[in-house]
Chain A
Amino acid sequence: MRRTVLALGWLWLGLFLLAPLAIVVTIALSAAGEGMPPYVPPLQWSGGGLKIAVDPGPFQLVLTDPLYRHALAISLRIAFVATLGCLAIGYPMALAIARMPERRRNLLLLLVMLPFWTGFLMRINAWIGLLNDAGWIPRAIAALGLAAAPPRILYTDTAMYLGLVYAYLPFMVLPLYANLSRQDPVLREAASDLGAGPLRAFLTVTLPLSLPGVAAGCALVFIPSVGEYVIPELLGGPGAETIGRTLWSEFFDNRDWPTACALATVVLVLLLGVPALALRAARGRAA
């Protein structure tokens, strides 16, 4: 029975994970062509012999053209700022929930996750309504005298960052809470018995102990933000040409499958390969 279960599992993963990724890499090595699908397969049987026609063009283009490097840099910057924003807002929230009486914590945590279940697009929809030029937030800013006229927010970086922090905040709070609520309060008591004030106890005990939770939360926000397509498209300005948007337009608007695939491969290697290697190196040093 074990064999059957594993065989079924591998069959599924082979078909829906490994085969699709192999196809992406194959098409990334192909020349663009006419027809459907619009590329020339790099390996072809012709007249009884195997014809190999690998085209390094798409990879060269993606790695050298400033357009793609720019998109990659923008995506990394956006993901970085969004992660910092979530951390700044989410850490005190997680800490506050973790310091609550135990019987209230589950409800408070549920309240953090609940918006997540009301539909991602619906919440973006609310921000479009609130932030547009005649919307409540720009008008409130003008009414408070912070600006002479209602400022333009929708379709700028500000709106995009707001949307990203809003959408991914629960992913930061959850792992932070999991870490902070498991910390033994005795450690903090020991610190205060030894004369540390609340701030010092936090900085020397709670914060260092929470770093694994910080890392987990940052990873959960950063990774999906890098590839995010919908939020930059709906809230951001035309300048926020992220990897997600570039890949989308190469594929759907330009119908350039090899370039889209080469871009996907590069992102995949950067996003998964680099952290994996760093982790292995760190483990190797520790062992």
Chain B
Amino acid sequence: MSGRGALLGWLLAGYAFLYAPIAFLVAFSFNDAKLVTAWAGFSWRWYGVLFADEALLRAAFLSLRIAVASATLATVVGTLCGVALARFGRFRGRGAFDAAVAAPLVLPEVITGLSLLLLFVAMDQAFGWPAGRGALTVTLAHASVSVAYVAVVVRARLAGMTPVLEEAAADLYAPPAEVFRRVTLPLLAPALASGWLLAFTLSLDDVVVASFTSGPGASTLPMVVFSMLRLGTTPELYALATLIVLAVAAILLLGLWLQRSNAAASGGQPIAGGAGRL
């Protein structure tokens, strides 16, 4: 049947569309020329330029710190919200709570950024905290967006998990906090890991919210890259992109390996998680 072949061809073309730009980035990060329009021989020079660019490295370090802090905060709050939505049954204001938790998923970034900046300005005026804008305000802003994503992941995991174990623990007179700590939380571990990773990636990737909520002297990596890209492109950023691709590939392989050894250990069902955004 030719329909099947056409479908397969389309799929391959789709993958080519998705991966050709990435292959281009990697290849031309080794190009011995200032422009990326012609091949001029192999060279490591752009990696040298990259590692000598202090502003970019400082921004990268700041971004990593913000991403770790905001992902951790978002995982804590997002788990609370996800557990409430999946396990609390009917409660007053449930519909509103559900909508409010999910709202950042559909809010345009410019509006999220604008509204959070205005909040931080108003708080600074009213209480003097957080004083000015910088790494702290960006961290809080990223956490407030990521909570929605973590809550979705946690809720999906809980929905697919029978409450029988939690009920058994409660029948054996474990108080609710103990049930949560010793039964729910360990079962949730894969969802917490993928939620955290998702929040971490979203934070590392964000330009718009960070641009609104950051202040002088606290430019994140995407903010610096964005201002460079406004003027065009440089092979230095291709070198940076190649390193990111390598890091992602390493994390992915590690995740697959962990999943495989987990599946082998539990003797069956592989644990869902890892690189799923939705």
Contact = CB atoms under 8 A, between A and B. Distances in A.
A267 B111 contact: yes
A46 interface: no
A205 interface: no
Contacts of A251: 114, 212
Interface string A200-231: 00000000000000000000000110111110
A2 B21 CA distance: 49
Nearest to A216: B278
A198 B1 contact: yes
Interface string B99-137: 011011011111100111011011001000000000000
Contact of A119 (B121, B204, B278): B204
Main SS at interface, chain B: helix
Interface stretch (B42-50, B158-166, B241-249, B260-268): B241-249
Contacts of B121: 37
A97 B140 CA distance: 39
Contacts of A267: 108, 111
A112 interface: yes
Contacts of A175: 278
A102 to B, nearest CB: 13
A126 B21 contact: yes
A264 B111 contact: yes
A82 interface: no
B91 interface: yes
Given A5-B84, A127-B21, A129-B233, A17 B276 contact: no
The residue among B77, B115, B244 with the most chain A CB atoms within 10 A of its own CB is B115
A118 B207 contact: no
Contact of A113 (B19, B25, B275): B275
Interface string A238-262: 0000011001100100000100110
B15 interface: yes
Contacts of A13: 97, 100-101
Interface stretch (B3-11, B51-59, B187-195): B3-11
30 contacts: A1-B180, A2-B91, A5-B83, A5-B84, A12-B147, A13-B97, A16-B119, A16-B140, A24-B114, A24-B118, A89-B14, A92-B14, A93-B10, A93-B11, A108-B11, A111-B15, A113-B275, A114-B275, A117-B252, A117-B275, A119-B244, A121-B225, A122-B237, A223-B106, A227-B108, A229-B208, A230-B208, A233-B230, A264-B110, A268-B111
Interface of A: 1-2, 5-6, 8-10, 12-13, 15-21, 23-24, 27, 37, 89-90, 92-93, 95-97, 99, 108, 110-130, 132, 134-136, 139, 166, 169-170, 174-175, 198-199, 223-224, 226-230, 233-234, 243-244, 247-248, 251, 257, 260-261, 264, 267-268, 271-272
